[in-house]
Structure 1
């Protein structure tokens, strides 16, 4: 049954406590795109279909989810145009944009007015990382701080510690994608994952419970490697709930599951959230965290 959509975030936040079990209030990770959008030079795949804002909102309505956060589409690089045009129309949506480090304050302010609430550093599959202490990134991160945005990071876990350290030094809020993508052989012992735990303790870092099916590696969508992604995600989720706490966790569907179309469904994503966080009150608290971070 589809739940009534709240008029705005404040209406949803006014609830004092959750019913015994409700859908998530916010889906914190999804993508929208058109089939003919330009591709970046380092795109890891291409889509042969469109997944529009209307498609996504219809899906949210079907499952009784009020709000959605659109992640900048890595394969289209700095082309945020379609996402921004849809954010202007649909106040139930927010987004994170992939931007050049030279983006000026005025452009960022316009993005903010259109519904952008952070920037995305899409670093997965990169052979060489930028210098995040360079002058241009120092300026970008200061502008992110001044706008009270966050930096949304996608990177393989073994490469995360120096990036996270540089971000923390800049003073920005940080949201880590997909459990932090730890090395599947190391799990909770991956250095990047351990760095996330310490950063979360310091109070300016959040972690997304999303994309568990991606945890066998960034090439797993095409290589079918050995391993059990569900088991890795289950172990990480249990550890995060116990050691980070639900106030630092977010949930995202990752729909439409780019690279995994036909194998992953929205039902699967919701089922995994219930499995990762079995207590309905904890899931409700995760929703409140998302409302405050993205719609507060």
Structure 2
């Protein structure tokens, strides 16, 4: 087995039971499903191959955490073959929906089919470690094909790209969801240009943001004994305070391409600070995803 074929475990096998009791109907709006690879082939373009993180493991995690709804985001691990996410949606008892990865050349018939089986949006990556699916102008034009079928646009980008992408994304024909607080460096604080640009962008009601990834945007040094996500939590708290009806939360399970494997119980308990009262938590975790992703009541 060569180096690039080594499989890596990307999730915590025994997450800490969270102190926070999540409200009924809580939705984890950002997870992925990997494999089993014997059934769902991995994309040829990936370099680091994760251990399988199948739907059964995800369902068990959610039972442990008290999560009752979920949005599964198709990962580059499986590329444009959305079968692994579609399978998890089909076995989720109506409580699991999805966001697809598609090429810009996807047919209208396939987009409609994906919408019919529970996909609510399409994601495009602008990360350095991922091959782009197209240019921003092409992607914004593509949103006109999403509008008639009730799909939204989800974008994942390196933090410095917000200055170049913001104006064009504002021309989207459908709502735009920004992943992981724009991947800003939380150690730079709320006054840094990248977070300031994200905060300004959120004044436009077209945009939503996922206050997921507190573990990714907070600094973590190799060998650090204890994770400290306080800087990421502080930015998430600001976004929830200022835009309470347009924020979503997620664990980002499993956790590929990361500096460490976070404890998902700790991520849940971060909500005690991100949304410090029950009213905010109800909005963030239940009502916002219920309305936006159109879960059945």
**Shorter-chain TM-score tier:** 0.7 to 0.9
Structure 1 counterpart of 2:111, from 108, 112, 115 = 108
Distance in 1 (alpha carbons) for counterparts of 2:163 and 2:121 = 21
Query: Please, which runs of 5 or more residues in structure 2 have no aligned partner?
Result: 1-20
1:256-271 to 2 correspondence within 5 Å? 256-259=254-257, 263-271=261-269
Q: Secondary structure of 1:285's partner? A: helix
Structure 2 counterpart of 1:200, from 194, 199, 202 = 202
Cα RMSD after superposing both structures: 2.8
Maintained 8 Å contact 1:215/1:229:
no
- Pick the structure with more helix per residue: 1
TM-score (norm 1): 0.80
| Counterpart for residue 144 of structure 2 | 142
C-alpha change, 1:98 and 1:127, in structure 2 (3 Å) is closer
Distance in 2 (alpha carbons) for counterparts of 1:102 and 1:147 = 17
Q: Secondary structure of 1:169's partner? A: coil
| Counterpart for residue 233 of structure 1 | 232
| Counterpart for residue 78 of structure 1 | 80
1:151-209 Cα deviation digits (max 9, x unpaired): 11111111123223222212221111111111345332344433332332221111111
| Counterpart for residue 92 of structure 1 | 95
1:109-124 to 2 correspondence within 5 Å? 109-124=112-127
1:140-179 to 2 correspondence within 5 Å? 140-179=142-181
| Counterpart for residue 253 of structure 1 | 251
C-alpha change, 1:64 and 1:234, in structure 2 (3 Å) is closer
Q: Secondary structure of 1:202's partner? A: coil
Maintained 8 Å contact 2:211/2:236:
yes
Distance in 2 (alpha carbons) for counterparts of 1:127 and 1:62 = 32
Q: Secondary structure of 2:170's partner? A: helix
Instruction: Give structure 1 regions of 4+ aligned residues with deviation exceeding 6 angstroms.
Output: none
Distance in 2 (alpha carbons) for counterparts of 1:26 and 1:293 = 11
Maintained 8 Å contact 2:237/2:273:
no
Question: Number of residues paired by the alignment?
Answer: 269
1:73-118 Cα deviation digits (max 9, x unpaired): 1232212111112223322111111110111211000001111000
Query: Please, which runs of 5 or more residues in structure 1 have no aligned partner?
Result: 1-19
Bigger shift: 232-241 or 275-284?
232-241
C-alpha change, 1:61 and 1:105, in structure 2 (3 Å) is same
C-alpha change, 1:21 and 1:212, in structure 2 (3 Å) is closer
C-alpha change, 1:86 and 1:132, in structure 2 (3 Å) is same
Maintained 8 Å contact 2:215/2:229:
yes
Distance in 2 (alpha carbons) for counterparts of 1:251 and 1:284 = 11
| Counterpart for residue 279 of structure 1 | 277
C-alpha change, 1:275 and 1:242, in structure 2 (3 Å) is closer
| Counterpart for residue 287 of structure 2 | 288
| Counterpart for residue 136 of structure 2 | 132
Distance in 2 (alpha carbons) for counterparts of 1:89 and 1:35 = 15
Q: What is the deviation of 1:38?
A: 3.8
Distance in 2 (alpha carbons) for counterparts of 1:210 and 1:21 = 16
Maintained 8 Å contact 1:35/1:47:
no
